[in-house]
Structure formats: C-alpha cells, structure tokens
Amino acid sequence: MSASRREVIDVPTASRAYEVVCGRALLDELGTMVRPLVKGDSLLIVTDSHVWPLYGQRVADSLRASGFSINVFVFEAGEAQKNLQTYATCLEVMAQSGLTRDDAVVALGGGVVGDLGGFAAATYMRGITVVQVPTSLLAMVDSSVGGKTAVDLQGGKNLAGAFLQPALVLEDVEALATLSPALLMDAFGEIIKHGVLAGPELFNAIAENPVTAPLMGAVDCSALDFDRMAALVSANVRVKRDVVVEDERESGLRQTLNLGHTIGHAIEAASNYTLGHGSCVAAGLAILCRGATAHGLTPAPVTRAILRCIEAYGLPTHANVPADAIIERLRADKKRHGSTVNAVIVRFLGDVEVVPMDIDRFAEIVRAGLSS
C-alpha cells in the first residue's frame, strides 16, 4: 500500500466549500480529517450490509481514535432499500443516538448509502453535517460530489430529496478492490459521459488503453492499477466539480451532467432496474448521439468515437426498449418543462449544449437513435 498518491480537489460551491480527497490508503486517516470539521463528538455511520463487514471497523476505529463516539446504522444492501421506510428508521436511529446539530453523519458505501445518509443528514434537525465516504466507483466519480441527496418513492426514483453539500468527501480508491468487475465496469457509463463533457484529452485517456483491462476474467477488482485509478477518479471529480461550482442547484449548466440520462432512465425503468445505472447511461448516450447525428446535430465522427469507447468497456450501445416506452416516460419526467424538454446535445467532445426542444422533436431523435 502506498500513501503517496493523493489529490485534494477544492469544491467551492455557494452553500459550502469543501474538499474531495482522493487517493490510496486513506480510510485510516478519516478521523484526523473529520475532526476539525465537526464541532460535536458524536457521529452516526450510515452504511449497508455489504460494506459494513468490509470497511466498517477500520472507519469506526479511525473515527474513535480522533475522539468521536460512534453509533452505526446498517441497512440491507440494494437500491430497493433507498426508500422512505429505511430513511425514517435512519432518522429514528439518529434521534436515539442523541445526535445534535453539532454532530454528523458519515455515509460509508455506494450511491444508495450516500443518497440516503445524505438525505437523513439534510433533514434531521433541519440539517446537520454529512461526510461522504464512497466505496463504489459510481459514487466516487458522481453521486458523492455535488450535494444531491434523495430516496425513491413508489412514484419514481429520487423524488424525495434535498441539496446538502458534504463537509468532506474521502475517496480511497483501494476500497474498489472488493467490487465485482461488473459493478466497476458499469460506472464507466458515467466516466465516459464525463470524458465527453471534458473534451478530447480526458476522453482519449479513457478511450485508449482501458484501465479495466486487467479485470478480464477476474472475480474482484484487486488487480486494478490503483495509481491509475486514483488519477482517473480525480480527473472525473474535477469535471463534476467544475460544473456544480457554477450551478449548484441545476438551473443551467448542471443539466449537462444529465447527458444520456433522459433515455438512460427510461431504459433503466424498462429493465425493472436490473440493468446497472451506468450501463443505461451508456446506452442512452449512444442512442442520443446516433439520433442527433441523424438529425444533423452531432458530427458523425464524434458519435463514432463515443460508440467505440462505450464498446471498449463492454457497455451497451443499444437497448431493447420500444421508442414509445421511452417517449411515454419522457412525457412524465420530473425534469420536463411544459411541452419542451431540455435535451443535452453533443456538438463536439468538450462542447455539450442544453437545447430546449419540443418533446415531439426529441421523440424523433430517440426513434432515429434506436433504429440506426
């Protein structure tokens, strides 16, 4: 293990400035980093049944060594638990633990844990501090940064939520070693999206010589090059940071992070959430770009480069979903504005535009993307 490679990325959003610390062998330093950020002495670790046995003790020991008293809320792993019942239980555990406004939640796990723990922190006593400790690649490059927190309702995903920027995001890429290769690969849907947003330099670094090559046939991700992973994760965090610092509450620029998501969410729902989020975003991006190329909006060579990159990571570029199912969901989408939709269109690598568009026109793009 090496403690040498780490990067500290400043995230100065309007509501709070914080750091994302990304590197290797960082988990044992959590207590030292959290201590100056929390006035009180009590912390609740929110985590799930998969992550707690792997990293819980190390994290709790590190926090205790910095003088915190620790309570733990462990819920059953899985997206199905990101609901109002688990959220309510979490709040009750916070109250029973005697957490005050000066205390904090430490969300240790993947996106479900971060979203739920963050939402509980955002609403307990009208808001207390949250520290995000993501352990999945998707959470490291996306959901732990930017302050979106939520739980799902029966009416849809992430429908109850709040913005709460964390006090710190600690990303120890060595925690990725225990992930299944399939889960790690899935996150490349979001990583490729970030490459498209950032421009040719990051996009080509992702597309050429995939960092996931050593995982062929592996049962876990321990064969990853963790120094390369740290560099890749940091680069992704910087892309997201640059967007959320400009537009914390998604009134404009942040909508570009939804690239590929409108179609991707429909694919995810049609698969009954059996297809991973990143895979659905990858397919959504591919369908969008093909359709946009057919309508003269995205140059064909750009679309070809994106499709090749998605294929290089073994992610889908097509989806077995009828166009009407996607359009229907689009009409019901919470991010729709009247009869228009904010389509996120790729002009070139590094040049992505939010284009308000009549739903019927967007529907034609989706149809073209599905049939080409």
| 3-state secondary structure at position 263 | helix
| 3-state secondary structure at position 240 | helix
β pairing state of 129-134 and 6-12:
unpaired
126 is catalytic: yes
Minimum separation from the CB atom of position 135 to ligand GLY (A): 18
208 is catalytic: no
19 is catalytic: no
**Residue 50 Cα distances to 94, 110, 198, 228, angstroms:** 21, 10, 33, 26
Contact in structure between 220 and 322 (CB atoms under 8 Å)? no
277 is catalytic: yes
Kindly tell me the sign of the dihedral angle through the C-alpha atoms of 174, 178, 179, 180: positive
250 is catalytic: yes
Annotated active-site residue in 50, 238, 241, 254: 254
Q: Which residue is nearest to ligand GLY (CB)?
A: 257
What is the Cα–Cα distance from 222 to 309, expressed in whole angstroms?
Answer: 23
Near ligand GLY by CB under 6 A: residue from 50, 194, 254, 329: 254
Compose the 123-162 pattern: x for residues touching ligand GLY by CB under 6 A, - for all others: -------------------x---x-x--------------
Near ligand GLY by CB under 6 A: residue from 99, 173, 257, 319: 257
Between 4 and 251, name the residue whose CB sits nearer to ligand GLY. 251
Which of the stretches 66-74, 249-257, 272-280, 359-367 binds ligand GLY when contact is defined by CB under 6 A?
249-257
Annotated active-site residue in 241, 265, 290, 329: 265
Between 60 and 232, name the residue whose CB sits nearer to ligand GLY. 232
Where on the phi/psi map is residue 221: left (φ > 0), alpha (ψ -120 to 50), or beta? alpha
The reply on whether position 284 binds ligand GLY by CB under 6 A is no
The reply on whether position 290 binds ligand GLY by CB under 6 A is no
50 is catalytic: no
Contact in structure between 19 and 144 (CB atoms under 8 Å)? no
Annotated active-site residue in 50, 157, 258, 342: 258
Element (H, E) at 109: strand 104-109
240 is catalytic: yes
Nearest Cα to 190, choosing from 146, 241, 137?
Answer: 137
Between 28 and 247, name the residue whose CB sits nearer to ligand GLY. 247
| 3-state secondary structure at position 264 | helix
Q: Which residues are catalytic?
A: 126, 148, 190, 240, 250, 254, 258, 261, 265, 277
Interface residue list for ligand GLY (CB under 6 A): 142, 146, 148, 250, 254, 257
